[in-house]
Structure 1
Amino acid sequence: MFTLPEFPGQYKVGSTTFAIPVGTAGTYEPVVVGSSKLNESALHGSPGSPALTFEEVVFTAYYPADVDQNTSKGFWRSGLHRSMHWLARPVKESLRGYSYFGEIPFWLTYTLLGGFAALLKIPVYHNAPLLHPKHRHSSENEPWPLVFFSHGLGGTQTNYSHICSRIASTGRVVLAFEHHDGTSPFIIARSRIPGSEEHARSEYKYYLNPKDVQFDNDTRSDKFPLRTDQLLFRRLEVYFTHKKFQELVINVDSTSPPEQQTIHTIEGARNIVDTSPKSEDTTFWNSWLKDTLDSSPKVNFQSNITLSGHSFGGATVFSILSQPPPTLHEVAFDPLPVDHALVFDPWLDPLPSPGPSPLELKSSLSPSSNVPNLLVLNSEGYTLWEDHFNRLREIVHTWSTTVKAEQSSSTSSLSKPAPSDWSKSSSKTRLITLIRAQHPSFSDFGILIPFGKRGREGKIFLDVISQLSIGFLDGRLDDELTRQNVKENTVETIKKSKEEEKRLVGDVGDIVINI
């Protein structure tokens, strides 16, 4: 068996993939998002049909797992084990999606990766119960904080399992989306009719390239019209998940039948909410529900939420925080109580320019929220992409000045700090570059093969990313920075073969603090 590298942490980590169909009991109402339509080049669907239909949300939860000695016997008897497939099933179709996304011949992708990918596992306790917050290592009995994670183009909810698991191991619940907006290599539409165990449909869907869609209205001014629609789709997924999963965790207890029987898991026996005394899944579902004698939920949906994402997922975070909540069936969602924004190598091109502005930031949040603390971790390549990096730095500077304005209630004394003088910028806003890191370094791809130079460097990058991310979420980022090898933002030119190449001065694992 091939397993991704182990990870340190305070808590053992469980994982479960949930699905929530769109609609209410007795109805099934997929929603068309945007105006794009499929054409003949798309791998799925009928030409002329809507390209983006909001039918369900699917996400993998990474969380502190209850696998102590008292529950382990029943846990193992149930057939659960400490591994989860890294690649979605069927393997052949997932590889077909990766082949299309990467523009690589399918036969080559399947030959090189088919056997290995089918065996690759994630070292987490699959479908384990959620650990009760009363068992947390600190004396506090507070609900677990919540983190939303959004993948990039061609990504999945398991491609970032290492960083998601590392964050979960510190005592957080991470909901990593399998976006159904055409950005995943491959998905199965797994919707059930709400309130029923019958499938409404089972349909394969693959990655959507912009050339796979067309628009009847050619007057759209968007530079990336498909990506604009996909950002709206992703915002709907995040807000819908926040609302519906909160209803499960907060409003349903084990003493009464659930009013919303729509949430189900997509692997194993736990395929629908069932809290009956004879249910084999009672332990699992009750681990998420609030206690009968204690009104406190086990997951905090009311405050201190973190939005996180990589690449197009980073654009998703900025899109959520720069626009008011979307509407679904003419009903607006409540603002999100976001406290932290953790962004990895964001791709900014699909976002309107300029943006986001402080007023837009405030309008997207709940009234009691401040502008979220922000940490952006950038790869060397995206930092050397000059036009893109200049825009990113302006966005982060806007964040920094807004945070400082809230702290001082005045913007009169605000000035932009020099890039190297990071100690004078807001300690709650940072833009940091990882020297030698590449765009995929924030995902599991760098450690799929854990040996050799690439594997060693991939592990270093994920260690630094995890240390900075966790330090940021714990409110001790500046202390963490003192333990890192910090370099100046200095560019050198080296000769590589017959060409010259620019790179930052430093070694693998070093960082540059830009803001």
Structure 2
Amino acid sequence: MLSLPPVHGRFPVGVTTFATPVRPSRRVGNAQLKSVKVSSAGRTYALNLEEVAFAAYYPADTSNKPPKSIDWLVRPLKHSLTGISNYSGLSYWLLWPIVFFFGSLIKIPVYRNAPLLRPEEASGSLEKQWPLVIFSHGLGGSRTTYSQFCSRLAASGRVVLALEHRDGTGIASIPKSWGIGDKSTNEPVLYLREEDVFWKDNEVVKEYPKPLRGEQLNFRRDEVYIMYETFQKFLRGDAGVEMETLDGAPFDKASWTNLTSEGASVIKHHDDITFTGHSFGSATGFSLLATQTPQGYQRIPISKLVLLDPWMDPLPSPGPELYQSKEQPQEPPKVLVINSEAFTLWKDHFSRLQDVMSVWEPQGQRILTILGSQHISFSDFAVLPGLVKGHGRLIMNVIGQLSLAFLDDTLDETLKEGIPTTKMTVELVGTKKDGTPKKKLAGEVGHVVVS
């Protein structure tokens, strides 16, 4: 068995994957598939919201010795293989030996479906609750491909809900059946490219520079609201809530719904919520707070954003800016951006990010760049056993340190005493194939530039 690196922290980490149906299911946007096999539902539209799924990473009660291993790649592997081929543009047949060999072996070293640890037992505090974090993956991601980052947060004493977006940005996902009358088709949702869809005349979402990504942002926002609302009802023990494990496996429901001795939920879900995401997931965070709360949903009380290598291209320009209304004014969240060296050297993109951050965080320098990092450094792909070499673990550790320091309000101290910082100095190191200069940031791998 090949395993991702173990994550060390105050608490052992459990993972349980939940799903909830969307009733009635609905279409989001007008994008249609250029090539589609007629399904039992006869669907040709690209984005159909029929189920929301997410993996919860959390401090685990391991007293009953639950199994310590979950699959890293989404099953069935044949669907993941097709999705990876769509995403990468590489041949299905070229990829299948690698995907089937490594995909069947790689595991995440966490406790599957373990009970949620009671915070009082962990800390001895009668008022202690686990803080809530929402995580959104990037293009080609899934509920498990950021397990290192999510587990790091969970091991520190947080509950992280990592969405598996069903908007065609993930490699592959398989909805489950929810019963007669409004059941899922169980057809896999695979990765979608811009060239895979089309719109009829006058149906394109013109406010977005990338129309498909714009409709996917709308889809993702709905998923976040539905997940949050359902999870709250579940914690309250509402009888009518529909939320089950995605694979149908049993779990200790009482460990989630029991109250503390003070009568509070064991998870702090009414305020001070953190939203975090990578790449398109970071764009989702900006979009969530820059748009009006949809009718029928409650505003999510997000107080902090941790944005990992945010991809700004799908978002309307100028902006985004924090949405404000007289009826539901929002307190500006604290925002931290952790950038890869590659995205910081992407001059036009970095300039736009700086402009946006000057509005969201006008009082602080909150864009940090990790030297030697790449766009994949924030995901598990950077530390896959047997496939990736170099400084992946070092950089992943720095990402975790910076994120936790920000959430614990100790970032300034960490940058002064814990993690070496350096000034931004751009060096020319050669020429690219297209003849343009090849650049890098001067300094040691893992050091941080504050800008």
TM-score category, normalised to shorter length:
over 0.9
Shift of 1:87: 0.4
| Structure exhibiting the larger radius of gyration computed from Cα positions | 1
423, 426, 444: which one aligns with 1:507: 444
Alignment-derived partner of residue 349 in structure 1: 313
Tell me what 2:243 maps to.
263
DSSP 3-state at the match of 2:174:
strand
State which of 185, 189, 201 in structure 2 corresponds to 1:217: 201
Contact kept, 8 Å, 1:39 with 1:47, in 2: the verdict is no
SS in 1 for 2:275: strand
97, 103, 108: which one aligns with 1:122: 108
Match of 1:474 in 2: 408
Q: Which residue does 1:305 correspond to in 2?
A: 273
2:163 aligned with 1:163, yes or no?
A: no
Structure 1 residues 47, 312: CA separation in 2 closer, same or farther (over 3 Å shift)?
A: farther
- 1:399-414 counterparts in 2 under 5 A? 399-401=360-362, 404=363
Could you say which residue in structure 2 is the equivalent of 1:448?
A: 384
**8 Å CA contact retained: 1:19, 1:266:** yes
1:239 aligns with 2:194: no
Helix, strand or coil at the partner of 1:203: coil
CA shift in 2, pair 1:45/1:295, >3 Å = same
Contact 1:381-1:438 within 8 A present in 2 as well: yes
111 and 200 in structure 1: CA distance in 2 versus 1, 3 angstrom threshold: closer
Cα deviation code 1:392-448 (max 9, x no counterpart) = 0011111122xx4xxxxxxxxxxxxxxxxxxxxx2xx51011111110000000100
Which amino acid is the alignment partner of residue 429 of structure 2? I
Q: Which amino acid aligns with 1:508?
A: V
Counterpart among 490, 498, 509 of residue 425 in structure 2: 490
Amino acid paired to 1:118: S
**Comparing 480-489 with 41-50, which one deviates more in the overlay?**
41-50
**Letter paired with 2:341:** E
Equivalent residue for 1:108?
Answer: 94
Paired residue for 2:333, among 372, 375, 378?
372
Provide the residue aligned with 1:317 in structure 2: 285
Pair 1:340 & 2:275 matched: no
Distance 1:438 1:43 in 2: 40
Q: Mean Cα displacement is larger for which, 504-513 or 134-143?
A: 134-143
Is the 1:149–1:175 contact (alpha carbons within 8 Å) kept by the matching residues of 2? yes
Matching residue within 52, 57, 70 for 1:57: 52
Indicate conservation of the 8 Å contact 2:383/2:392, yes or no: yes
Aligned equivalents of 2:20 and 2:263: distance in 1?
Answer: 24
The sequence identity of aligned pairs, in percent, is: 41
The answer for the alignment partner of 1:12 in structure 2 is: 12
In structure 1, stretches of 5+ residues that fail to align are 24-28, 253-257, 271-280, 405-425
Q: Which amino acid aligns with 1:350?
A: P
Matched, 1:436 2:372: yes
Alpha carbons 1:43, 1:206 under 8 Å: kept: no
Secondary structure of the residue aligned to 2:396 is helix
2:442 and 2:326 map into 1 onto residues whose CA distance is 39
CA–CA separation in structure 2 for the residues paired with 1:46 and 1:502: 51
Residue deviations 1:126-184, cap 9 Å, x none?
00000112123363532211100000111111000000000001110000010001111
Per-residue Cα deviation, 1:267-320 (whole angstroms, up to 9, x for no partner)? 2532xxxxxxxxxx5xx0000103397531111111110111101001000000
Q: SS at 1:296's partner residue?
A: coil
The 1-side partners of 2:245 and 2:43 are apart by: 32
Pair 1:39-2:34 in alignment: yes
Partner of 2:352: 391
Residue identity opposite 2:186 in structure 1: S
Q: Distance in 1 between matches of 2:228 and 2:139?
A: 22
Asked whether the equivalents of residues 307 and 336 of structure 2 are also in contact (C-alpha less than 8 Å), the reply is yes
CA contact (8 A) 2:41 2:185 kept: no
Task: Please give the alpha-carbon distance, in whole angstroms, between the structure 1 residues aligned to 2:325 and 2:421.
Answer: 36
CA distance in 2, matches of 1:501, 1:214: 36
Distance in 2, matches of 1:431 and 1:44, equals: 46
Verify: 1:132 aligned to 2:68, yes or no: no
CA deviation digits over 1:92-151, x for unaligned, max 9?
221121011100011111112321111100010000000112123363532211100000
Q: Are positions 1:458 and 2:419 aligned together?
A: no
Partner of 1:174: 160
Spell out, residue by residue over 1:204-250, the C-alpha distance to the aligned partner (whole angstroms, 9 max, x if none): 22111111111113463232111111001000010111111100102
Kept after mapping to 2: 8 A contact 1:167/1:174: yes
Q: 1:365 to 1:477 in 2, by over 3 A?
A: farther
Count of residue pairs the alignment pairs up? 446
Mark the CA change 1:314 to 1:232 in structure 2 (over 3 Å): closer, same or farther: same
Query: Could you list the per-position Cα deviations for residues 329-369 of structure 1 after superposition, in whole angstroms to 9, with x for gaps in the alignment?
Result: xx2x11111111000011111111111225x2x449964x5
The residue type equivalent to 2:35 in the other structure is E
Summarize deviations over 1:26-50 as a string: whole Å, max 9, x none.
xxx1011111111216898988722
Q: Is the 8 A contact 2:149 2:379 kept in 1?
A: yes
1:336/1:364 contact within 8 Å kept = no
Could you state the TM-score of these two structures normalised by the residue count of structure 1?
0.82
Letter aligned with residue 290 of structure 2: S
Q: Tell me the C-alpha RMSD between the 2 structures.
A: 2.4
Sort the Cα spacing of 1:364 and 1:384 in 2 relative to 1 into closer, same or farther, 3 A: farther
Structure 1 residues 15 and 211: CA distance shift in structure 2, 3 A:
same
Supply the AA of the counterpart residue of 1:509: G
Q: Secondary structure at the match of 2:427?
A: strand
* Alignment partner, residue 143 of structure 1: 129
* Aligned pairs (5 A) from 1:87-98: 87-98=73-84
